[in-house]
Each structure stands twice: as C-alpha cells, then as structure tokens.
Amino acid sequence: MAHRRTELAQQETEEDPRPPDIVTMRASTARALADAPSSDDLDTLAALLRSHMRVLIPEVEKLAARRNDTAGISARACIGEAYRKLQIGNGDIEAVRVSVVQKLARSVNALCDHYERLGGEL
C-alpha cells in the first residue's frame, strides 16, 4: 500500500488520498526520543516532526469530527496541543533544542495513537 510521503519537501497544498505513513512517523519519534540526538540532527528532526504533524493533524481532525465520545474529545484536545507545539521555536541553546524536539516527538506519537485508535487507515 502506498503511504503519504513524509519528506520535508512535500507541500500539503493538495489533499493526498494516501494514508499517513505511521511506521515512518513512529520511527522518527523513536529517533528523537532516544538518547539525545546530535546537535547536527536537531534542526532536521524538528522540521521532520513538524512535517509529520502537518500531515497528521487534518487526518485526526477528520476522524475525530465523526466522534462525540471520549476518544473523539481526547483526540480534539491532542490536536489543540499539537497546534500549540507547532508554534514553538527551535530554541538557541542545545538543551532547549533537545527539549523542543522531544516535545514535538511526543506530540507526533500522540497523534499517531489517536489516528490508530479512531480507525485511521494504515
């Protein structure tokens, strides 16, 4: 099955009919949450994780809109938090940069969880 591309260069201006590539997204989060990523990788990881979020947020929004139960409400709260995380900068100090990448990774993981829990296509 073809999955949505997750490269940074992908533009989300058109709706892509392929499902998000959850396996690749989870691999990116595992890399970000593993022992502190190298300083050289932080900006790349932050951009990649933000790209994953931009793919996942609308998908989870569509799935959550159909639900008025706890799962739908929880997913909508996660989406709101993800939007807030997209607004944070990368930071100037390495410790802050690591923290930002880890926050983004946890948000991507949560969005993946909600996508799967709400019955998103894998």
pLDDT tens, position by position, 62-101: 999 999 999 999 999 999 999 999 999 988 899 999 999 9
Note the residue count of the chain: 122
pLDDT tens, position by position, 12-23: 445 678 899 999
Alpha helices in the chain (DSSP H): 22-33, 39-65, 70-87, 94-117
* pTM score over 0.95: no
On whether the CB atoms of residues 81 and 26 are closer than 8 A, the answer is no
Identify the pLDDT of residue 11. 47
- Burial bucket for residue 98 (CB in 10 Å: 0-12, 13-18, 19+): middle
Identify the pLDDT of residue 6. 45
Query: Considering Cα of 81, then 16, then 22, then 47, what sign does the dihedral take?
Result: negative
Domain range annotation of the chain: 39-117
